[in-house]
Amino acid sequence: MYKIYVDPYLLVYPQANSGIDEFENYIHSLISWGEEIKKIKEANLATLYLSAKTPEILANINGYPERNELEKLIVDLNLQNEIDPHDILILIESFLKLPFVEDRLNINAILIDNIQCDPVFYLDGRNEIFVQIYYELTVLIFLLCKIENLSNKHQIIVTRYIQAENTQILIECEIVDCEFCNNSCHVNIPYDVSISLQSFVNPNSLHNYFDALDIWINANQCEEVYKKAITIFVTQTNKQLEKPKPINEITYWLFGSRLLKSLKDLGFLDEHIKTKMLLRTCAEIILKQNMGDTHWLRTGKGANNPQKKRKKDGTKAWRRDIDHEYHLHYWETERGIEFASVVIHNDMKIPE
């Protein structure tokens, strides 16, 4: 669903006359994006692409760091106890192994002209070659959206060293030549381009951009993706609280073995309204908000019946209102919350 495109400028090693701040920005951007992209790939949240021109451009302008240079830089930044130069080189190599967006489009070359960028300062300070390749990348994204009927909202560029953590940019230009690998696709020349995209330099900002509801609806029975959707929703909800909780105070949680089956049976995997209610309910439990909607799950219907406990470990069972018709049953374990099942109103069972 989401597609993330790596701006080649994220990878280019600063020139020798660059200030120490730019070198530090380079190191920290690489590491933070490397960690985040690994998580995104593991959770199957997005597909990732690189421009096919990236390796050649880095080679032509000496944009690959030498090991000796990296070692000296890391010492100068006093990071030698935190960062291994070899890890940085491996990280760059992993970025360069990403699939090329040109291959996805079956395109050999593209030529653009009459380029307009808003905000106009967005690419200030870059070598002209990295300005041009950025524009070409946005045009390739535009073509992919047109050909595959994709939403601009789900196309994301990651980069470094711009004036805002995340910026919505508008690129307008004209395609004056376009060479496809075969005759399966055709673009009338000249072709007007206008595309608005989100660009990020900080992975933490990217978390706020993902739509947890979209991720959940498109998870295709993948448990890790459902978990990622809840994590994103919890993070976004927490930031909106009057007093957001520190990460170490957010309740640990996991899925029980029968949870997804109960969600599927009652339409909570693909119905938007139900999914939105479920995400809100899970987030409130995890963040301990509106706890008046949470009750003991009792052994019987009587108000004086004791709370249910799991036979194997004595863990207590709880029932949380999703709405008047549906309820979320969960165990409160020593480790944290174990979401067990969603049930209809008169169902008091909970899988152990």
30 and 149, same domain (yes or no): yes
pLDDT tens column, 63-86: 888 888 888 888 888 888 888 888
- What does the pLDDT read at residue 17? 75
Find the length of the chain.
352
Top pLDDT among 314 and 15 is at 314
- What does the pLDDT read at residue 295? 93
143 and 282, same domain (yes or no): no
The DSSP annotation for 124-182 comes to: TTS-HHHHHHHHHHHHHHHHHHHHHT--GGGEEEE--S-SSSEEEEEEEEEEEEEEESS
191 and 310, same domain (yes or no): no
pTM for the full predicted model? 0.80
Query: Which of 173, 207, 241 is the last residue in one of the domains?
Result: 207
201 and 223, same domain (yes or no): no
CB half-sphere exposure, 206, CA atoms < 13 A: 24
202 and 233, same domain (yes or no): no
pLDDT tens column, 285-336: 999 999 889 999 998 877 788 999 999 889 999 999 999 999 999 999 998 9
- What does the pLDDT read at residue 276? 96
Query: Which of 188, 207, 226 is the last residue in one of the domains?
Result: 207
The highest-confidence range among 57-66, 122-131, 261-270, by mean pLDDT, is 261-270
Which residues are within 8 A (CB) of 44 and not within 5 positions of it... i.e. 6 or more apart?
Answer: 222, 224, 225
305 and 186, same domain (yes or no): no
Top pLDDT among 160 and 294 is at 294
160 and 283, same domain (yes or no): no
194 and 268, same domain (yes or no): no
Q: Is residue 258 part of a domain?
A: yes
pLDDT tens column, 166-223: 688 999 999 999 888 877 667 788 999 999 999 998 887 787 788 999 999 988 888 9
Q: Is residue 350 part of a domain?
A: no
200 and 59, same domain (yes or no): yes
37 and 171, same domain (yes or no): yes
Checking if the pLDDT of 87 tops 70, the result is yes
250 and 128, same domain (yes or no): no
Mean pLDDT of 125-150: 93
Query: Which of 187, 207, 227 is the last residue in one of the domains?
Result: 207
Q: Is residue 291 part of a domain?
A: yes
Mean pLDDT of the chain: 90
Q: Is residue 7 part of a domain?
A: yes
Model confidence band, residue 253 (pLDDT cutoffs 50, 70, 90)? very high
Q: Is residue 144 part of a domain?
A: yes
186 and 289, same domain (yes or no): no
- The percent of residues in the chain predicted with pLDDT above 70, rounded, is 98
Q: Is residue 352 part of a domain?
A: no
d(CA 183, CA 248): 55
- What does the pLDDT read at residue 185? 67
- The residue range of the domain holding 143 is 2-207
Q: Is residue 349 part of a domain?
A: no
pLDDT tens column, 268-284: 999 999 999 999 999 99
- The percent of residues in the chain predicted with pLDDT above 90, rounded, is 58
Cα dihedral 244, 246, 247, 250 in deg (nearest 10): -70
If one counts the domains in the chain, the total is: 2
Query: Where residue 324 sits, what CATH number does that domain have?
Result: 3.30.2310.20
